[in-house]
Amino acid sequence: MTLELRNVSKVVDGVPHIHPTNLTLNKGTMNVLLGPTLSGKTSLMRLMAGLDMPTTGQVFWQGEDVTGMRVQDRKVAMVYQQFINYPSMTVYDNIASPLRLMGKSKAEIDAAVRKSADLMQLSAMLDRKPLELSGGQQQRCALARALVKDAGLVLLDEPLANLDYKLREELRVEIPKIFEEAGSIFVYATTEPEEALLLGGNTAALWQGEVRQFGLTPDVYRQPADATTARVFSDPPMNFLKVSKAGGTITFGDAQSAAATGPLATLADGQYLAGFRPNHVELQGQVGTALTFATKLNVTELTGSETFIHLDHHGDSWVGLVHGIHDLELGAALDVHIDPRHIYIFSETGDLVAPAAYAMAA
């Protein structure tokens, strides 16, 4: 069982919403569409489902061209960010509704509903109405109705975005286990890199309607193909600065120089773009190994156990995420430190030249 997009694009009023895309998704896989708002996640899902016709290209399901096939005739289920349940029906009847439309027998419906409800931990709530449930339980009801259809393709468009933090965390852990049992192709859209990492499977990094990279989620995270993918798969986004390499020396944007050690030693002489994630910014570096940058502290944000520090490095805006609560003076000079093993090197056009050493060892 496969879903294949061949050179699929979508142009609306002359504006590309989805650039030509080639993508193959296999049976029993979790596939995450990761990107910021308006990056094309929902547009790509609608093309997969058959809700929209592509401007160019074809959609194949199990080797059959289904590009012109109505969505009603495809084995597709979709769950949206908003809870979509019938308020006058019980949970049981909500889950059973698509099966009744399909003309299934009473016995088939009952067995399928109870199996789906059990997967979603709703067995004790089948007689309740949706408004008698918590937000998380209502979304589980919507998910159960999608699963009960035994659809080959299940599309989840930011299904946890409207839930509170605790419920999101619970469902993020449960969803991969539930879907592993179902055996369908699952496509899950999110704006959050952390969610993609928790869900695992494969990740497609989207930016302005273009799939920049697709592969196993840990691989896309550790070895982004380009600076755009690295920016998408980092929250807050990856920090960057211009660097140049000459002989055994690497010079940073403010003319600060350091020995080109570790992965930097093998670079050819030239101009590059260095990138590092916020969680690799340190306030106390290891003497003799860490690179030190003189910055100005603009803003701090306390999260309880961590502190976000917003920095200005000679015109470059950086964000650091450091452990603990730090009482720092706004506007003051602040030295921050970066372990060279955590630095990615990109070409001036943004292509990955050298992954961080820690990523290669992971």
What does the pLDDT read at residue 226? 97
Q: How far is CA 207 from the centre of its chain?
A: 11
Structural domain total, the chain? 2
- Given a cut of 90, whether residue 319 has pLDDT beyond it is yes
Residues 6+ apart with CB under 8 A from 311: 281, 295, 296, 297, 298, 317, 318, 319, 320, 334, 336
Contact 319, 311 (CB under 8 A): yes
Do residues 91 and 221 both lie within one domain? yes
Do residues 199 and 247 both lie within one domain? no
Helices (H) and strands (E) in the chain, counts: 9, 20
Q: Is 211 helix (H, G, I), strand (E, B) or coil?
A: strand
Residues 6+ apart with CB under 8 A from 154: 76, 77, 78, 79, 146, 147, 179, 182, 184, 185, 186, 187
- Given a cut of 70, whether residue 362 has pLDDT beyond it is no
Do residues 212 and 290 both lie within one domain? no
Q: Is 49 helix (H, G, I), strand (E, B) or coil?
A: helix
Do residues 313 and 192 both lie within one domain? no
pTM above 0.75, yes or no: yes
Q: Is 133 helix (H, G, I), strand (E, B) or coil?
A: coil
What single-letter DSSP state applies at residue 312?
E
What does the pLDDT read at residue 360? 64
Per-residue model confidence as pLDDT tens digits over 141-174:
988 888 888 788 999 998 877 777 777 777 777 7
What does the pLDDT read at residue 136? 79
- Given a cut of 60, whether residue 104 has pLDDT beyond it is yes
CATH code (residue 336): 2.40.50.140
Q: Exposed, middle or buried: residue 282 (CB in 10 Å: 0-12, 13-18, 19+)?
A: middle
Least confident span in 66-80, 159-173, 299-313: 159-173
Supply the mean pLDDT for the chain: 89
What does the pLDDT read at residue 52? 95
Contact 90, 126 (CB under 8 A): yes
Contact 29, 185 (CB under 8 A): yes
CATH code (residue 138): 3.40.50.300
| Domain end among 231, 251, 280 | 231
Do residues 57 and 160 both lie within one domain? yes
Tokens linked to 273: 């773009």
- Given a cut of 70, whether residue 294 has pLDDT beyond it is yes
| Domain hosting residue 154, numbered range | 2-231
Do residues 176 and 303 both lie within one domain? no
Residues 6+ apart with CB under 8 A from 113: 92, 95, 96, 99, 126, 148
What does the pLDDT read at residue 255? 62
Do residues 158 and 120 both lie within one domain? yes
Per-residue model confidence as pLDDT tens digits over 243-284:
999 988 888 776 677 777 766 778 899 999 999 999 999 998
Do residues 72 and 174 both lie within one domain? yes
Residue 34 main-chain phi, psi, to 5 deg: -110, 125
Do residues 29 and 169 both lie within one domain? yes
Least confident span in 27-41, 58-72, 76-90: 76-90
Residues 27-57: b if buried by 16+ CB within 10 A, e if exposed: eebbbbbbbeeebbbbbbbbbbbbebebeeb
Residues 6+ apart with CB under 8 A from 320: 278, 281, 308, 309, 311, 336
Banded model confidence at residue 287, pLDDT cuts 50, 70, 90:
low
Side-chain-facing half-sphere of 290: CA atoms under 13 Å: 16
- Given a cut of 90, whether residue 71 has pLDDT beyond it is no
Q: What's the residue count for the chain?
A: 362
Tokens linked to 38: 């308006």
| Domain end among 214, 231, 248 | 231
Pairing of strands 64-65, 76-79: unpaired
Do residues 199 and 273 both lie within one domain? no
| Domain end among 194, 212, 231 | 231
Do residues 199 and 271 both lie within one domain? no
Residue 49 main-chain phi, psi, to 5 deg: -80, -20
- Given a cut of 90, whether residue 189 has pLDDT beyond it is yes
What does the pLDDT read at residue 91? 96
Helices (H), the chain: 41-49, 91-101, 106-119, 135-148, 165-182, 193-199, 217-222, 227-232, 357-361
Do residues 248 and 316 both lie within one domain? yes
